[in-house]
Amino acid sequence: MATTDEDTFLEQEGCYVALTNSPLNLQSIVDRVRSPQAGAIVLFAGTTRDSFDNKPVKELQYTAYRPLALRTMLAICTALRAKHALKGIAMVHRLGVVPIGEESILIAVSAPHRQAAWRAGEEALEECKARVEVWKREEFEDGEGVWRANRDGVRGKRVG
């Protein structure tokens, strides 16, 4: 596990995972998975919305147990890389305060063909939300806050 001031990351054979307190960089994660053998790169950017159930959201706050979260993220990426014959997969989750309109998670996947990239990208997100040791607190404009499960889909069910 490598660490800089605010970043912690792991890399292994075409897989890169990181946790950071800094704003996320879309181009940087795409560059991490770019390959001359890849005909497709899929990028998912999870962004903080301004409301939940019509209640104005001020910001999201994320916390994690870094060593375990990184190992879980790497296990997900390694399994998906093998399952879908990916050229690269990267997953970066932001911690701390994430203001409205900013990204809290980026997932980039490269594969020889688009079908594998699309499938792997969706699976990576669902697995991350279901398994990674990251916790989310929604802070509302009225001063209230609530801890939420870090998932909003139904595992194994494709979005409609």
Binding site membership for substrate: which residues? 113-114, 129, 136-138
Pick out the residues of the known binding site: 113-114, 129, 136-138
d(CA 77, CA 88): 9
Give the SS3 label for residue 11: strand
d(CA 123, CA 129): 10
The candidate with the shortest Cα–Cα distance to 93, out of 71, 119, 64, is: 64
Residue 15 sits at φ, ψ, to 5 deg, of: -120, 140
How far CA 109 is from CA of 3, 31, 61, 94, in Å, comes to: 23, 10, 26, 18
DSSP states along 39-64: SEEEEEEEE--SEETTEEEEEEEEEE
